[in-house]
Amino acid sequence: MLFWSWAALLTLVAVAFITIPLLRRSRGAISQALPDTQREENLRLFAEREAELQSDLASGMLEAKEHATLLRELQLSLLDDVDSGDKARGSESAAGSPRGHWWLAGIIAVILPLLALSLYQRWGYIEDVELMGLFKRTLESQGDPEAAQVLVVELGEVVREDGEKPWVWYFLGENFATLGMFNEAQIAYLQAAERLQGEPEESLVLGRAALALYIRSEFEFTPELDALIARAREINPNEIAIIQLLAADAQNRGDYAAAIANWRLLIQNNPNSLEAQSLRAEIANAQRLLRESSGEPAEGPVIEVRLALADGVKVDPNWRVFVAARNAEREGLPPLAARDLRAGDLPVSIILDNDAAVGPFNLGSADLVTISALISRSGTANPAAGDYRVLSEPFAHNGEPAVITLLISDVVE
């Protein structure tokens, strides 16, 4: 409704741009036309001035050459005045009557909107604009079942009217997934993929269909799931949804080597994201588990961090906790080692070693280190007001095992 209101307003403005100059032209032409009495006055003044010049010539006040020049200028002036009058009358005649202009304005006011509507229906995108609102609401309502139910109804109505819009099917699948209806979600994703055949986005939609099927299959691989994964990877070997699925499956099976390989592919997609930070911690933990299962001793320093909450500190069990070791002699560098967990895991003991490196340097590259722990309300590793934090004094690990006890009590101002 808002769109059509704006369209009507802009149409009126367009009509005004055309009709107002026409009406002004009509009035201007009438006001500029010279009446016949003005023409007669010009002729009378010419005769008087011609007589004066003739008298001055006869009395000797003007020479013959000067007289001829002035008379010529007078004649040219008269011709200009007469010509201007004739053109003005011609303009008035061509402009027509005011009633004629009102008819023209009326015709334009009718034809212009009809022409604009016809062209818009052929080349316009109002339906896509309206759908973008539904898509935006889907993204904003992730994890909100009530909003997802409403969107399923609205998107379903769009599908019933026109089932050939692939992204309507895709977002319908997203809302079904939010509601835990993974069978319906898979169907919707596959409908979208069918309408995106040959497009790069087909692999994305197939990846989402594969995730829905993986959950439906109780996290077991089936021939149908293998076929979906193969279809998606044939289009895009590094499809994010497929890599996430493979990493999760490898972790569930305890195949940490495969999980690490897939996590590293995900990190390459967006190295500076919060997800990448979390995946680096997962990789460090998986590497530790691999080393422990093989019985190989850790290389380099090993720091055991014993972490607990101070009495009276109340936190949400789901808030993230970031534990990091940094070079005490070089500020501003990335952590030498890092792990993350949940506040509900406290109290806990964790291990920081070279396998927990998250940047170009590891624990063995620094002689003097500090250990910090941050309970983040926002889920990011950057301290913010209201977070809880503790920082150890600098100490030298000397390349040997060390134990640090930290009690979280200070609120970040």
Question: At 329, phi and psi to the nearest 5?
Answer: -100, -5
Q: How far is CA 57 from CA 43, 44, 284, 401, in A?
A: 21, 20, 117, 128
Per-residue confidence of the chain (413 residues) as pLDDT tens digits?
454 565 566 566 655 665 566 555 555 544 444 455 666 676 677 677 777 777 777 777 767 777 677 767 766 675 666 555 555 545 544 444 555 555 655 665 566 566 555 544 544 444 555 577 777 877 777 778 888 888 889 889 988 888 888 988 998 999 899 899 999 999 999 999 999 998 989 999 999 999 999 999 999 999 999 999 999 999 999 899 999 999 999 988 889 889 988 988 888 887 777 777 778 778 877 877 887 777 666 567 888 999 999 998 989 999 999 999 999 988 878 888 888 889 999 999 888 888 778 777 888 888 899 999 999 998 888 889 999 999 999 998 887 788 999 999 899 98
Q: Look-up: residue for tokens 């949400």?
A: 316
Q: Are 370 and 329 contacting, i.e. CB atoms less than 8 angstroms apart?
A: no
Residue 187's Cβ-count burial label (10 Å; 0-12, 13-18, 19+) is middle
Q: Where are the domains of the chain?
A: 2-123, 299-411
Cα 90 from Cα 72, distance rounded (Å): 27
Q: How far is CA 360 from CA 27, 357, 364, 365, in A?
A: 80, 8, 12, 10
- 368 pairs with which residues across the strands? 396
DSSP 196-241: TTTSTTHHHHHHHHHHHHHHHTTS---HHHHHHHHHHHHH-TT-HH
Cα 192 from Cα 206, distance rounded (Å): 9
Question: Candidates 2.60.120, 3.30.70, 2.40.50, 2.60.40; correct CATH number of 299-411?
Answer: 2.60.40
Contacts of 19 (CB under 8 A, 6+ apart): 101, 104, 105, 108, 109
Residue type, 294: S
Looking only at the bridges linking them, the beta strands covering 303-309 and 348-352 are antiparallel
Q: What is the CA radius of gyration of the chain?
A: 42
Residue type, 407: L
Torsion of CA 125, 127, 132, 133, to 10 degrees: 130
- For residue 31, what pLDDT is reported? 46
Smallest Cα–Cα separation from 400: which of 285, 287, 299?
A: 299
Cα 157 from Cα 203, distance rounded (Å): 26
Q: Is the whole model's pTM more than 0.85, yes or no?
A: no
- For residue 112, what pLDDT is reported? 57
Token digits for 316?
Answer: 């949400």
347 preceded by cis ω (within 30°)?
Answer: yes
Token digits for 123?
Answer: 């080349």
Q: Look-up: residue for tokens 């997802």?
A: 148
- 404 pairs with which residues across the strands? 305
- For residue 124, what pLDDT is reported? 44
Question: Of all helices (H) and strands (E), which one includes residue 307?
Answer: strand 303-309
Q: Are 247 and 259 contacting, i.e. CB atoms less than 8 angstroms apart?
A: yes
Residue 30's Cβ-count burial label (10 Å; 0-12, 13-18, 19+) is middle
Q: Are 358 and 328 contacting, i.e. CB atoms less than 8 angstroms apart?
A: no
CA angle 265, 266, 267 (to 5 degrees): 90
Smallest Cα–Cα separation from 171: which of 198, 203, 156, 161?
A: 156
Cα 297 from Cα 282, distance rounded (Å): 20
Classified as helix, coil or strand, 317 is coil
Question: Of all helices (H) and strands (E), which one includes residue 371?
Answer: strand 368-376
Cα 368 from Cα 219, distance rounded (Å): 45
Q: What is residue 26's DSSP assignment?
A: H
Question: Of all helices (H) and strands (E), which one includes residue 407?
Answer: strand 402-408
